[in-house]
A = this chain, B = another copy of it.
Amino acid sequence: MLGLEPISRETVGGRVYRDLRELIMAGQISPGERLSIRALASALGTSVMPVRDAVAKLAAEQALEVLPNRAVRVPPMTQDRFEELRAIRLLLEGHAVEIATARMTPARLARLHAIHAEFEAEHDRSEPDAGALVRLNKDFHFHIYETAEMPSLLRIIEGLWLQIGPVLNYDLRSKSRRTKDRTALGFHLALVQAAARGDAAGARAALVGDINAAGDFILSCGALLGASPAERPERGRGAKRA
């Protein structure tokens, strides 16, 4: 006995929240696209209530935005906001890396190596799956951050990734990612090695290099709004029906 299951201790609202969050982080919803609560509800096979809760929570985390019209959409990324978020990331994730280096254990270091190897393997494939790369990159970073054992900090960093996720992935799957991933691999390797020898400053430097390189690449792509148009009503309103 006892091998039943953790009950259904999961609320529908929670599931909707996580699904939506995943969708945004993976960049499945392009910035500026408007969402319809009713459409989402019917697509997910529930009523509007859980969806409303999830949307409210995501809006509180700045992952979604409610326009004065009360329409909901993924907030378009401006260059200013992107640079601000990058500056905050450098601060917080840099700190997390330093603490993580100090608290690194052999087991966690081995796991980090494994994730890095997976990332490298996926990259070396003839047809790398963009989604897998995004996921492995996220796993790599967050495995380090979790090592710092600072749950509140981790939470904030997740919020930041949630905000930059859309453009980060939008970019990753569209442009020539070959060179970018190569640099990412280099920084990741340097980060692993620095963590292995307990070099907090070195680990931080590697992370800063990683974040800055990725950020520069995105900025150079010109995919971000200067500060003006902000409007692209996205003719097909609402989400895909079920």
Contact = CB atoms under 8 A, between A and B. Distances in A.
Counting contact residues on chain A (CB < 8 A from B), the size range is 20 to 34
A193 B84 CA distance: 27
A91 B60 CA distance: 22
Given A60-B60, A60-B61, A68-B9, A153 B84 contact: yes
A52 interface: yes
A60 B57 contact: yes
A210 to B, nearest CB: 19
Contact of A152 (B13, B88, B153, B155): B88
A224 interface: no
A47 interface: no
A68 B14 CA distance: 13
Given A56-B56, A88-B92, A91-B91, A81 B152 contact: yes
Interface in A189-206: none
Nearest to A63: B60
Given A57-B59, A92-B88, A95-B91, A152 B163 contact: yes
Nearest to A94: B91
Given A56-B57, A88-B156, 8 more contacts: A57-B57, A57-B60, A60-B60, A62-B155, A84-B150, A88-B153, A91-B92, A91-B95
26 contacts: A9-B68, A11-B70, A13-B56, A53-B56, A56-B56, A56-B57, A57-B57, A58-B60, A60-B61, A61-B61, A62-B152, A62-B155, A81-B151, A81-B152, A84-B150, A87-B95, A87-B150, A87-B153, A88-B92, A88-B150, A88-B153, A88-B156, A91-B91, A91-B92, A156-B156, A156-B159
Q: List the 9 shortest-distance A-B pairs measured between CB atoms, nearest first.
A: A57-B60, A60-B60, A53-B56, A84-B150, A56-B57, A84-B152, A56-B56, A91-B91, A88-B153
Interface of A: 9, 11, 13, 52-53, 56-62, 68, 70, 81, 84-85, 87-88, 91-92, 95, 150-153, 155-156, 159, 163
